[in-house]
Structure 1
């Protein structure tokens, strides 16, 4: 069995967050969801667990970071530059924020950062490894 990542995120509005993640390409897995959590699947090995604040606080007593802070930036590869732009556009159209950091275009690599409704930052990125600079 391949190693799987479950990214746990605290969310203020579970239904809104679930709709947001569906809009940017995730699918809902009801098997691991209930009224206080939703499992959102991107690939066979990448899952995001959306947890209400109450549920989150059963796992840790550490405070939830405010939506204006920078806790982590999670990078997701996309198939093309157009896919990067489409994910960023879908974020803005579904309760998130597009381009929370400056767009970066290095020719061989292109990325745009978006935030979900709770301020969690995702980097949609595309890279052409054949055009990447050689290691030094």
Structure 2
């Protein structure tokens, strides 16, 4: 049975976040004044919630993504060129680079932090021999 995954992220400035994800080429579903749903794929969406709205759903204090890491969101792509294109687009749209590219273990992966500090990676599985 296939399920849909909704990942919820608190954001400080919803308009800035919508602009950032639009510049990465994503579209949205279900935008309101305090939340917007970024369509990652047919069965995956990232819900951007204004921090006060996010806090109403959270059981504990909302973490500051600039000082703690609770999750790393990974976008799977088809090849290293797509990884580079995606991360370069994110950096041009206001993200900051995180770490060095990883080329070991049959993968190519690069990381970045979005304007709110949430950590993301772009990943493709490659042939370990080449």
TM-score, normalization: structure 2? 0.89
How far apart, CA to CA, are the structure 1 residues paired with 2:63 and 2:2?
Answer: 31
Q: CA deviation at 1:63?
A: 2.0
- Corresponding residue number in structure 1 for 2:18: 18
Over aligned residues, Cα RMSD in angstroms? 1.7
Aligned residues: 128
Q: CA deviation at 1:113?
A: 0.6
- Corresponding residue number in structure 2 for 1:51: 49
- Corresponding residue number in structure 2 for 1:94: 93
Give runs of ≥4 in structure 1 deviating > 3 Å. none
Where 1:75 maps in the other structure, the secondary structure is strand
Matches within 5 A, 1:33-112: 33-66=31-64, 67-98=66-97, 100-106=98-104, 108-112=106-110
How far apart, CA to CA, are the structure 2 residues paired with 1:58 and 1:43?
Answer: 26
- Corresponding residue number in structure 2 for 1:7: 7
TM-score, normalization: structure 1? 0.86
How far apart, CA to CA, are the structure 2 residues paired with 1:3 and 1:132?
Answer: 31
Where 2:68 maps in the other structure, the secondary structure is coil
Unmatched segments (≥5 aa) in structure 1: none
How far apart, CA to CA, are the structure 2 residues paired with 1:113 and 1:121?
Answer: 7
How far apart, CA to CA, are the structure 1 residues paired with 2:100 and 2:69?
Answer: 15
Contact 2:104 2:128 (8 Å CA) reproduced:
no
How far apart, CA to CA, are the structure 2 residues paired with 1:41 and 1:119?
Answer: 20
How far apart, CA to CA, are the structure 2 residues paired with 1:47 and 1:113?
Answer: 19
- Corresponding residue number in structure 2 for 1:113: 111
How far apart, CA to CA, are the structure 1 residues paired with 2:86 and 2:62?
Answer: 26
Unmatched segments (≥5 aa) in structure 2: none
